[in-house]
Chain A
């Protein structure tokens, strides 16, 4: 890590430490965040149940290619 990175890092860290994030998110917050690791899962809900099938880019391409 460069000296500049270090200094900026320290300023940023002390700023973040002072704004009150730890007030709520430490400990208790972890449980609320349970759920999937995949980035899209959060949107899947929106009031509906997520489909069991997972459409990755590869699968989608396979489907496209298999169309005659």
Chain B
């Protein structure tokens, strides 16, 4: 909790819309890296919807969170993403773009990570082109946690636009749509909707940036 608040006060240059964008990426990163624990579910239950398409999806996510506890959330997460050898969904850029893991999209992401000096958090062997990972990188770019640009500048926005175009736009919308329609999804179904809508919003917003 303090880490998130810390980064908010560090980036006083950020407009409210960008703070919200970073939080959305953070929300998706958190829920797609692992199932929500009790605290995270509590936060999801408190999300307020409004009558925009996104607001309705957020309200549905809040309702779904009310119908779940950490155990059922974990069961669902495992069924969707882990399985025995693999889950129903394989949320990696390489898989969505080539049908296989550890392909060119991963190599391209690693090249970007080197350029932006983004390091791996630990010694895990999971490929970095996982949806949670690229979402967290986008949040980091918005907050200027790494990269050469200052937070809230046009330069930062161009960096974000490039990263989004290369590592998220080609596949993330399809992944979220798949999540939305996954048979075993219940808590994660509205997250799929939220993610799909958010990717579309980001695409539209970036079209307004040169």
Residue on A with the closest CB to B54? Answer: A20
Inter-chain contacts of A47 with B (CB < 8 A): 34-35, 74, 77-78, 82
The answer to the question of B21 belonging to the interface, with a C-beta cut-off of 8 Å to chain A, is yes
The reply to whether B210 and A37 contact each other, CB–CB distance below 8 Å, is: no
Among B132-165, those with CB < 8 Å from A are 132-133, 135-137, 139-140, 145-146, 154
The answer to the question of A68 belonging to the interface, with a C-beta cut-off of 8 Å to chain B, is no
The answer to the question of B85 belonging to the interface, with a C-beta cut-off of 8 Å to chain A, is no
Name B47's contact: one of A1, A24, A53 (CB within 8 Å).
Answer: A24
B residues lining the A interface (CB < 8 Å): 1-5, 7-8, 15-17, 20-21, 23-24, 26-27, 29-36, 39-40, 43-44, 46-50, 52-55, 58-59, 61-62, 74, 77-78, 81-82, 113, 118-124, 126, 128, 130, 132-133, 135-137, 139-140, 145-146, 154, 194, 198, 201, 204-205, 208-210
Roughly how many angstroms separate A3 CA and B146 CA in the complex, as a whole number?
27
The reply to whether B8 and A30 contact each other, CB–CB distance below 8 Å, is: yes
Inter-chain contacts of B140 with A (CB < 8 A): 37, 39
Roughly how many angstroms separate A29 CA and B45 CA in the complex, as a whole number?
11
Name A25's contact: one of B27, B29, B123, B154 (CB within 8 Å).
Answer: B27
Cβ of A60 to closest chain B Cβ, rounded Å: 9
Q: 0/1 per residue, A8-46, Cβ < 8 Å to B?
A: 110111011111111111101111111111111111111
Roughly how many angstroms separate A53 CA and B139 CA in the complex, as a whole number?
24
Q: A24-B49, A44-B122 are in contact. Are A30 and B128 (CB under 8 A)?
A: no
The reply to whether A33 and B52 contact each other, CB–CB distance below 8 Å, is: no
The reply to whether B137 and A51 contact each other, CB–CB distance below 8 Å, is: no
Inter-chain contacts of B128 with A (CB < 8 A): 40, 43
A residues lining the B interface (CB < 8 Å): 1-2, 4-5, 8-9, 11-13, 15-26, 28-48, 50-57
The reply to whether B208 and A15 contact each other, CB–CB distance below 8 Å, is: yes
The reply to whether B7 and A37 contact each other, CB–CB distance below 8 Å, is: yes
Roughly how many angstroms separate A32 CA and B21 CA in the complex, as a whole number?
14
Roughly how many angstroms separate A44 CA and B132 CA in the complex, as a whole number?
10
Roughly how many angstroms separate A32 CA and B47 CA in the complex, as a whole number?
11
Name B23's contact: one of A16, A29, A35 (CB within 8 Å).
Answer: A29
Residue on B with the closest CB to A36? Answer: B121
The reply to whether B1 and A19 contact each other, CB–CB distance below 8 Å, is: no
The reply to whether B55 and A50 contact each other, CB–CB distance below 8 Å, is: no
Inter-chain contacts of B145 with A (CB < 8 A): 37, 39
The reply to whether A16 and B205 contact each other, CB–CB distance below 8 Å, is: yes
Inter-chain contacts of B201 with A (CB < 8 A): 16, 19, 21
